Chain A
Amino acid sequence: MAARAPALSPAPSYDAERVRRDFPILARSVHGKPLVYLDSAASSQRPLCVVRAVEDYELNSHANVHRGVHLLSQEATNAYEGARDRVKRFLNARSSREIVFVRGTTEGINLVAQSYARPRLGPGDEILITALEHHANIVPWQMVRDQTGCSLVVAPINQRGELIYEEFVKRLSARTRLVAFAHVSNALGTVLPVAEMITAAHERGAPVLIDGAQAVPHQQIDVRALGCDFYTFSGHKLYGPTGIGVLYGREELLGAMPPWQGGGDMILTVSFEKSTWNELPWKFEAGTPNMSGAVGLAAAIDYVERLGLPAIGAHEQRLLEEATAQLARIPGVTLIGTAAHKAAVLSFTLEGVHPHDLGTILDSEGVAVRTGHHCAMPVMEFFGVPATARASFGCYSTREDVRALVSALHKAREVFG
Chain B
Amino acid sequence: MELRDLYRDVILDHNRHPRNFGTLASATASAEGHNPLCGDRLTVSVRLEGDRVQDIRFEGKGCAISTASASLMTEAVKGKPRAEVEQLYQAVHALLTQQDATATPALGKLAALSGVREFPVRVKCASLCWHTLHAALERGSGTVTTELPDDTPSSLAQQLDGAL
Question: Which residues of A are at the interface with B, using a C-beta cutoff of 8 A?
Answer: 31, 353-357, 360-361, 364, 371-373, 380, 386-387, 415-417
Interface-lining segment among B23-31, B37-45, B92-100, B131-139: B37-45
Chain-A contact segment, one of B59-67, B79-87, B141-149, B152-160:
B59-67
Contact among B1, B37, B39 with A364 in the assembled complex (CB-CB below 8 Å)? B1
Contacts of A386 in B (CB 8 A): 38-41, 61-62
Give A218 to B28 CA distance when docked, in angstroms: 56
A416 to B39, CA, bound (A): 20
Alpha-carbon distance between A198 and B41 when the two chains are bound, in angstroms:
39
Number of interface residues of B (CB under 8 A): 21
Q: Please indicate which of the listed interface residues A31, A353, A360, A373 has the most CB atoms of chain B within 10 Å of its own CB.
A: A360
Residues of chain B within 8 A (CB-CB) of A373 are 39
Q: Mark B100-126, 1 if CB is under 8 A from A, else 0.
A: 000000000000000000010110010
Q: Which residue of B lies closest to A385 (CB)?
A: B39
* Nearest-neighbor residue (CB-CB) of A411 within chain B: B3
The answer, yes or no, to whether B88 is at the interface (CB within 8 Å) is: no
> Footprint of A on B, CB under 8 Å?
1, 3, 6-7, 12, 16, 37-41, 61-65, 119, 121-122, 125, 164
Given contacts A361-B3, A364-B1, A364-B3, contact A354 B62 (CB under 8 A): yes
| Across-interface contacts of B41 in A (CB, < 8 A) | 386
Q: Is the CB of B39 within 8 A of A415?
A: no
Chain B residues with CB under 8 A of A357: 7, 63-65
- A372–B38 CB distance below 8 A: yes
4 closest residue pairs by CB, A with B: A386-B39, A356-B63, A354-B63, A387-B39
State whether A356 touches B40 (Cβ < 8 A).
yes
If the complex has contacts A415-B7, A416-B12, are A360 and B39 also in contact, measured as CB distance less than 8 A?
Answer: no
Set A353, A360, A380, A415: member contacting B122, Cβ < 8 A: A360
